[in-house]
Amino acid sequence: MLSIPPGLDPDLLRSFVLIVEGGSFTRAAQAVGRTQSAVSMQIRRLEEMLGQPLLLRGARGVEPTRHGLWLLERARRLLALHDEIHSTFRQPAVAGAVRLGTPDDYAMRWLPGILARFAGSHPAVEVEVTCAPSHELVARLAEGELDLTLLSEGNEPPGSRIRWLWRGPLYWVGTDELARRRPLPLSLASGGCSWRDAAITALDKADLPWRVAYTAASLSGSLAVALAGLAITVAMPGPLPDGLRALGPAEGLPLLPEFGIGLLRGPRTPVAEALAQHIEEGFELETGYETRLRA
């Protein structure tokens, strides 16, 4: 008689995915509202069902095995479909439209995963995203044109209540050859950008001559100029195109300060609050992953 294998419990797969993404049993347990021992037992059950080890504890936290990596991609797809089915056949708790602002520098780095998860859990919500410099987004929020916005530190209105989501250093990005040129050719955003101000202040304090060779409206534009070998630019930690690398004192450049990414809300509505919660959770998850990478 043909034996039918037991079905995979979505709860087991969800705990597995959360552990891999957060690098921690504790963080995953908090996300699903279970104890750490209960989540550990879930993973043991999953490994027993599949007959292969899925996770390893290493110096950087919990990491997937070869079989775990294979499962991760498929578990994400299965859970997305599971959540879509579930949300489609239930009355959505939140519906309507929400207008989110973000600097272009953060859109590709942070938002894809956040917005995808939000769409899966809130299918009746329409998200309108506006990319612009931080100071423009703050002005639009004040005018009622946005419901909430991400912004770079240094652009927050006086006395505003900011939820700071991330903090880390800025880096010079380019090539060794460009770093040796004097005056130093720069590709920066236009006036009003806190990254631009930080770069110029650091160079002036170090008494290094510089010139703004290119003005780009976005980080992708500045990276394209740097990749062409025409100027260096400033970026936050993260993946860089092949041919570029982070530069610093070893290349004769001054250290750049840390900066923060904040979330500023307008009038609170159920739709805006739901998206704000997803953004905060997404940044917390990414911050935990980066902490492991720097360990």
Domain boundaries, the chain: 10-88, 96-165+261-294, 171-256
**179: Cα separation from own chain's centroid:** 28
Domains 96-165+261-294 and 171-256 equal at CATH topology level? yes
Give 96-165+261-294's CATH code, choosing from 3.30.160.270, 3.20.20.70, 3.40.190.10, 3.30.565.10: 3.40.190.10
- The model's confidence at residue 279, banded by pLDDT at 50, 70 and 90, is very high
pLDDT at 271: 92
> Whose CA is closest to 97, among 138, 136, 146, 132?
146
How many residues appear in the chain?
295
CATH fold, domain 171-256, is D-Maltodextrin-Binding Protein; domain 2 (3.40.190)
- Secondary structure of the chain as H, E, C letters: CCCCCCCCCHHHHHHHHHHHHHCCHHHHHHHHCCCHHHHHHHHHHHHHHHCCCCEEEECCEEEECHHHHHHHHHHHHHHHHHHHHHHHCCCCCCCEEEEEEECHHHHHHHHHHHHHHHHHHCCCEEEEEEECCHHHHHHHHHCCCCCEEEEECCCCCCCCCCEEEEEEECEEEECHHHHCCCCEEEEECCCCCHHHHHHHHHHHHCCCCEEEEEECCCHHHHHHHHHCCCCEEEECCCCCCCCCEEECHHHCCCCCCEEEEEEEECCCCHHHHHHHHHHHHHHHHHHHHHHHHHC
Q: Are 100 and 127 in contact (CB under 8 A)?
A: yes
pLDDT at 1: 39
Looking at residues 113-129, what average pLDDT do you find? 87
Q: pLDDT for 56-70, tens place per residue? A: 887 677 889 999 999
pLDDT at 282: 83
Q: pLDDT for 188-206, tens place per residue? A: 987 778 888 899 999 999 9
Give 10-88's CATH code, choosing from 1.10.10.10, 3.30.470.10, 3.20.20.80, 3.40.50.300: 1.10.10.10
Looking at residues 9-25, what average pLDDT do you find? 87
